[in-house]
Amino acid sequence: MSYQSGRMGTAEGIALVFTMTFTTIFVTLPAELIETSGELGWISEIASGLSTMAMLFLFIYVFERFPGDLFYVSTRLLGKLGACLISIYYIVMFFSVATLLIRDFSENTLFAALPELDFHLSVGWYALSVAFLLYFGIEAIARAAYVILPFSAGGIILAFALLVPHYKPYYLFPWQGTGMTNALIKSGVLVASNAAAPLLAVIAKSFQNIRVLRAAAIFGLGGSMLIKSTSILILIIVFGPSAAMERTLPFFEMTRLISLNRYIQRIDSIFIILWVIAGIFGITISLYMGLYLITRLVNLPTMKPLIPIVTLLLAQIAMIPPDASSVRALEGILVKGYFLIGIYVIPLLLFAATLLNKKRGTKCASE
Question: Which of residues 42, 125, 160, 288 is near another protein by CB under 8 A?
Answer: 125
Q: 83 or 102: whose CB is closer to another protein?
A: 102
Binding of another protein by 16 (CB under 8 A): no
Binding of another protein by 42 (CB under 8 A): no
Three-state SS for the chain is CCCCCCCECHHHHHHHHHHHHHHHHHCCHHHHHHHHHHHHHHHHHHHHHHHHHHHHHHHHHHHHHCCCCHHHHHHHHHHHHHHHHHHHHHHHHHHHHHHHHHHHHHHHHHHHHCCCCCHHHHHHHHHHHHHHHHCCHHHHHHHHHHHHHHHHHHHHHHHHHHCHHHCCHHHHCCCCCCCHHHHHHHHHHCCCCCCCCCHHHHCHHHECCHHHHHHHHHHHHHHHHHHHHHHHHHHHHHHCHHHHCCCCCHHHHHHHCCECCCCCECHHHHHHHHHHHHHHHHHHHHHHHHHHHHHHHHCCCCCCCHHHHHHHHHHHHHCCCCCHHHHHHHHHHHHHHHHHHHHHHHHHHHHHHHHHHHHHCCCCCCC
Binding of another protein by 269 (CB under 8 A): yes
**Separation CA 225–CA 97 (nearest Å):** 18
The stretch near another protein (CB under 8 A) out of 2-10, 28-36, 198-206, 223-231 is 2-10
- Minimum distance from residue 362 beta carbon to another protein (Å): 40
Q: Which of residues 279-318 bind another protein (CB under 8 A)?
A: 280-281
Q: Which of residues 169-198 bind another protein (CB under 8 A)?
A: 170-179
Q: 70 or 123: whose CB is closer to another protein?
A: 123
The stretch near another protein (CB under 8 A) out of 82-90, 92-100, 267-275, 335-343 is 267-275
- Contact letters for another protein, residues 246-265 (x by CB under 8 A): x------x--xxxx-xxx-x
- Minimum distance from residue 238 beta carbon to another protein (Å): 8
**Separation CA 229–CA 241 (nearest Å):** 14
Contact (CB, 8 A) for 28 and 173: no
The stretch near another protein (CB under 8 A) out of 23-31, 83-91, 163-171, 184-192 is 163-171
Question: Which of residues 82, 124, 222, 308 is near another protein by CB under 8 A?
Answer: 124
Binding of another protein by 239 (CB under 8 A): yes
- Minimum distance from residue 209 beta carbon to another protein (Å): 15
Binding of another protein by 46 (CB under 8 A): no
Q: Which of residues 133-152 bind another protein (CB under 8 A)?
A: 133, 136-137, 139-144, 146-148
- Minimum distance from residue 39 beta carbon to another protein (Å): 7
Binding of another protein by 243 (CB under 8 A): yes
Q: 261 or 366: whose CB is closer to another protein?
A: 261
Q: 83 or 133: whose CB is closer to another protein?
A: 133
The stretch near another protein (CB under 8 A) out of 49-57, 237-245, 298-306, 318-326 is 237-245
Contact (CB, 8 A) for 294 and 300: yes
**Separation CA 338–CA 233 (nearest Å):** 27
- Minimum distance from residue 123 beta carbon to another protein (Å): 12
The stretch near another protein (CB under 8 A) out of 28-36, 78-86, 273-281, 350-358 is 273-281
Q: 57 or 171: whose CB is closer to another protein?
A: 171
